[in-house]
Structure 1
């Protein structure tokens, strides 16, 4: 059967103005507000942490501020579906905001690093809930015609936070007011909780049953091992850490397949299903982004850029994600489904471009600035282009009765893949010689990092083509049934 939506938007396609009108406007504000709170916190705290250490000490535990936050975020994301089922959208958002607020308050009053780390873990759990809930609640409060646009709005919110967060954090750090950075989050958190309780649905699905404790324990163990190994400079320790994480991951897969209480929806680990292909596309996309963490360093060491300029050039990846999402969010039918496979192509081209131009120092930065910036932006643009339609495809591929679990797994897979990619990037950079602190080591690291990680979007193309084909088949089947 011919797909009549291949080239033209569906007649029922709603405009952006519908997303910001009436009740949809409040829902958009709550969902994007939760994501903004989580994202701003990440970038603000990253900027003020040096001030924190100078004030209360704890330099030896500096990296744990991020490690515990990420691990707790993944745990929160993994449990968000259960919370949504039991408390409803309004109650779940209020709980997430409350937990985040408690964590922020703990950080604001912390007299030492131990208490601050506890606050960061609580913050991470609340933030993970808010971020994952956004994807789960979209399909509850918006009609299907607005799902892709709402997802695009979330992407735009995250990209904006990438620019605003460091600047806001820099102001607090400049005046030595790092505690105020945490206090400033409290009114926003309270407002989010009130809006969520008063505007989002309170209906529950009555989700009950045992928690997948074994899988959750293994998942957090993997993230902690990867995070710790990423902070080690010794190559042997990094390799051992990644190896241990892979063993734990194999145990997680085996446990998930045999457990009565599952962490992921049915079919998520079966490579023959469209759901597994979609999660694979997400995972490869996130792994391919992780060399971004070395972009500021390489720009400073190889090309003499200032920290500020290097930081904002690196931010082009996040801005590219935002631009990609806003470009494709209103697309429908076959055009939308094609983005799932086209997105990784941009990522592959972008990483190969960075690998080609980042190591070139003899020609001067002006000669390579444009292609380098375009390559960095292309990586994010490709993910953003496909993202609204990957997420909506997950909604459609979710088994009956497991829609909330499938939505929550988007964030779980996203954060987990980012942790794995960051650890692999650290190991690759050190093996390539970046720890030597020389221009030759940095050059070698640039070639290996971006060249090797181009394999991730290449594999993502394979997964995305399969996901897109299965999504198209499902769409045609639905049309025939109608």
Structure 2
């Protein structure tokens, strides 16, 4: 056996001549999206002040997350049926259209609508990228591919906050949105010609809602049509967005709207996620939930951290954005480290990453205390980024391992749905508190950080169910 292993040809690396062009195209695409995310996160306090829509601040972040649900379902269906090239192209077009709407928005409500269009396109293209990774790279190579995708955040994280802050303060915040479409078009030119267009041969139809997947996962099969799934995705997106409207309205009317929204989420979510997800069944269903907890913890803290530093510590948007740089650099470092730990029990990586995320968010929250120097919060957010970088790509690797090729689109879309749904729920709670108390009340930010820490700690406790 030793001689056989020794004589087996080594796989080409992700940067070898065979894979270099595709890997570079994927990194370019992710880097463009990363620059947009970092730049917008830095500029949003200036945008809210200019448009007078602070009460819609959380919605401007939640709208793309809600629309993302529809995008990932559409992208997953299209990727499984016709290959990833078409949803990638359409996703890029919608992403650019959303940037243009947001950049020209006359009000915070229109800006949120543009952000929703961005989320719709972003959902389609990220699922297409996951399908490309699943169908092109060997399982042993995938951790390194996801590490390279995380590394694509490094340059945007380093220059994005400074550029975005200066542009928003010295020129106009509108150019933060309008300056990104040329980068997106360049990314499309780099990646689209290298994306496989053909679908994987369809699996035979099997009776029953699920078929047992490898590595202990329960994998949904192609039983439901595209139209019903898209309908349930739209219902879930509406329910998620309605939660934010309920928080803004408050009172008895807000309570009734929240109950209706939660009912809509409860009915539609199970139709889009692997069977057993809400019951935290071991394997794939639990990995999907854990992915949402990782993203919810990071997002619930990241959205409010720049606003806290501007409103409470009176920093400029450019300086406050440096904290986002620390988080992105930490994410890249954590992802690089997990990429060197292929094989073995990856549930341990999940527990480690989520534990570091919870600790880092708690340290970053000390920025609420005037006596605590801002660099302490920066160090905390760096640590939170490291933890997220360890845990987030680990869930991607696990889902691709548990999915047959013809279902990689659908199961990857389940990951993104969990991202969007749990992060939207977290922002709905913290956004309602912010709207009720106002941006100058420290308790509003404390509530957001508490939600983020709770999500990370819950994930750390449940990580063992990913086996």
Pick the aligned partner of 1:365 from 349, 366, 372. Answer: 372
Measure how far apart 1:206 and its partner are. Answer: 6.7
1:264 is the counterpart of 2:273: yes
Secondary structure of 1:69's partner? helix
**How far apart, CA to CA, are the structure 2 residues paired with 1:275 and 1:193?**
32
Equivalent residues, number = 437
Pick the aligned partner of 1:216 from 233, 254, 258. Answer: 233
1:29 is the counterpart of 2:24: yes
Pick the aligned partner of 2:382 from 357, 370, 377. Answer: 377
1:40 is the counterpart of 2:45: no
Measure how far apart 1:429 and its partner are. Answer: 5.3
**How far apart, CA to CA, are the structure 2 residues paired with 1:302 and 1:123?**
30
- 1:196-247 deviation line (CA, Å, top 9, x unaligned): 34212111247783321441122111221133345x2747676555544322
**How far apart, CA to CA, are the structure 2 residues paired with 1:268 and 1:436?**
36
Supply the RMSD in Å over aligned alpha carbons: 3.8
| Cα distance, 1:115–1:272 mapped onto 2, change above 3 Å | closer
Unaligned runs of 5+ in 2: 1-7, 203-221
Q: Is the 8 A contact 1:48 1:173 kept in 2?
A: yes
Secondary structure of 1:22's partner? coil
Unaligned runs of 5+ in 1: 1-10, 257-262, 471-482
**How far apart, CA to CA, are the structure 1 residues paired with 2:378 and 2:106?**
42
1:463-482 → structure 2 map (5 Å cutoff) = 463-467=462-466, 470=467
Measure how far apart 1:318 and its partner are. Answer: 3.1
Pick the aligned partner of 1:275 from 274, 281, 284. Answer: 284
**2:410 corresponds to:** 405
Q: Is the 8 A contact 1:44 1:181 kept in 2?
A: yes
Secondary structure of 2:341's partner? coil
**How far apart, CA to CA, are the structure 1 residues paired with 2:196 and 2:307?**
46
Pick the aligned partner of 2:353 from 343, 349, 357. Answer: 343
**How far apart, CA to CA, are the structure 1 residues paired with 2:417 and 2:332?**
20
Pick the aligned partner of 1:228 from 227, 245, 265. Answer: 245
1:326 is the counterpart of 2:339: no
**How far apart, CA to CA, are the structure 1 residues paired with 2:175 and 2:317?**
24
- TM-score calculated relative to the size of structure 2: 0.79
**1:260 corresponds to:** none
**How far apart, CA to CA, are the structure 2 residues paired with 1:282 and 1:383?**
10
Measure how far apart 1:24 and its partner are. Answer: 1.8
Measure how far apart 1:374 and its partner are. Answer: 3.3
**2:125 corresponds to:** 130
| Cα distance, 1:405–1:445 mapped onto 2, change above 3 Å | same
- TM-score calculated relative to the size of structure 1: 0.76
